[in-house]
């Protein structure tokens, strides 16, 4: 069966994105505002926020961009007076194969994490919707606890779990008869380290996505599912034909938030592996940090972070463009 698109449009929590763009909302806004002249109030109210963001975010970003066009090393940091070098830093980066490896690795890291996060959190959300009251509260509590756990604390516990000599993971594996894990150094192996960090990041991100999706699920009218079931839909078909289309924009929003979160993920990687071994877990943010802090090449690091922002923007533009097209199609 197919859901009439009007039904979907009316029942979705589209206010998240559609908001003022729907004709109804626009009308309402206009009647509330004083007619005929532009009020200065909105601007005045928003001014402190804009100024604060400009000061704490805008200024460093501008400094960073400027630095990426300068020669800026330890000497310039201490003595000042950096010279402009045009695009030299960018040229140096683009000519470096290490940089391209890092870019590809970052994209792969983001893809793997986001796919896992979306799949797992969808499953958890669907499960939550079906659980009885007690179990649901138990699962939600578990999710909230994970979400509330400070990143560094969680990461430290993770390190202890996988510690080569005293870690409980190796102990369990050895107890299970896998003797090759006696004193196994997880962090000496590139793929193992990569996988370990992926699992950590996914574990930390699933709660937010799952809880948000679950909240979305509760807004889908039960009649829709009933009608679909009468028409013979079940399981996967129900999800594909009803749940997903109805919550499409919510899925899109969470996916983009997770892309941002994973792409700029730094603390977990740095605390666990510092980008090692042999750069196996060096993503763009880690690379920028290494270039700045170990090589003292603040100029190159500035260029790397500018590129990071550009790549992220491109990724998100693809998403926004697509969802915009869906809006107009509707």
3-state class percentages of the chain: helix first, strand second, coil last, to nearest 5: 75, 0, 20
Q: Is 75 in the site for other proteins (CB under 8 A)?
A: yes
The correct pick among 182, 294, 313, 322 for binding other proteins (CB under 8 A) is 294
Binding positions for other proteins, 207-236, rule CB under 8 A: none
Q: How distant, in Å, are the alpha carbons of 35, 49, 169, 177, 225 from that of 196?
A: 59, 39, 12, 22, 39
In three-state secondary structure terms, 214 is helix
By beta-carbon proximity to other proteins, the closer residue of 159 and 323 is 159
Residues 154-186, buried b or exposed e (16+ Cβ, 10 A)? Answer: bbeebbebbbeeebebbeebeeeeeeebeebeb
The long-range contacts involving 183-191, CB below 8 angstroms and separated by at least 24 positions, are 186/162, 187/162, 187/272, 187/273, 187/276, 187/277, 188/277, 189/277, 190/277, 190/278, 190/280, 190/281, 191/280
In the complex, the smallest distance separating the C-beta of residue 266 from other proteins, rounded to whole angstroms, is 5
Interacting span for other proteins (CB under 8 A) from 34-42, 140-148, 211-219, 301-309: 301-309
CB closer to other proteins out of 279 and 327? 279
The answer to the question of residue 159 lying near other proteins (CB under 8 A) is no
> 6 or 179: whose CB is closer to other proteins?
179
Site pattern 245..284 for other proteins (x: CB under 8 A): -------------------x-xx------xxxxx-----x
Q: Which is nearer to other proteins, 74 or 135 (CB)?
A: 74
Contact positions vs other proteins (CB under 8 A): 59-60, 63-64, 67-68, 72-75, 77-79, 92, 98, 164-165, 183, 185, 187-189, 264, 266-267, 274-278, 284-302, 304-305, 308-309
């Amino acid at each position: 069966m197919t859901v009439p698109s009007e039904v979907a449009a009316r029942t979705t929590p589209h206010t998240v994105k559609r908001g003022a763009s729907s004709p109804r909302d626009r009308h309402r806004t206009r009647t509330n505002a004083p007619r005929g002249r532009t009020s200065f109030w909105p601007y005045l109210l928003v001014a402190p926020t804009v100024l604060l963001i400009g000061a704490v975010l805008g200024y460093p970003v501008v400094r960073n961009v400027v630095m990426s066009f300068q020669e800026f090393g330890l000497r310039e940091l201490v003595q000042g007076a950096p010279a402009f070098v045009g695009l030299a830093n960018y040229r140096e980066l683009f000519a470096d194969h290490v940089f391209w490896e890092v870019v590809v690795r970052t994209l792969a890291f983001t893809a793997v994490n986001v796919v896992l996060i979306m799949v797992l959190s969808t499953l958890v959300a669907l499960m939550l919707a079906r659980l009885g009251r007690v179990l649901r509260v138990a699962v939600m509590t578990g999710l909230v606890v994970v979400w509330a756990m400070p990143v560094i604390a969680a990461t430290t516990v993770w390190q202890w779990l996988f510690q080569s000599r005293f870690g409980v993971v190796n102990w369990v594996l050895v107890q299970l008869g896998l003797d090759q894990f006696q004193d196994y150094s997880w962090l000496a192996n590139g793929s193992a380290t990569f996988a370990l960090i992926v699992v950590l990041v996914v574990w930390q991100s699933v709660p937010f996505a799952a809880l948000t999706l679950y909240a979305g699920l509760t807004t889908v009218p039960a009649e829709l599912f009933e009608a679909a079931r009468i028409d013979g839909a079940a399981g996967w078909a129900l999800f594909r034909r009803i749940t997903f289309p109805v919550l499409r924009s919510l899925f899109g929003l969470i996916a983009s938030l997770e892309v941002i979160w994973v792409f700029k993920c730094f603390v977990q990687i740095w605390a666990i592996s510092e980008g090692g071994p042999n750069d196996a877990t060096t993503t763009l943010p880690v690379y920028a940090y290494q270039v700045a802090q170990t090589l003292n090449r603040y100029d190159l690091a500035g260029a790397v972070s500018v590129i990071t922002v550009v790549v992220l923007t491109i990724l998100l533009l693809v998403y926004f463009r697509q969802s915009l097209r869906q809006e107009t199609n509707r």
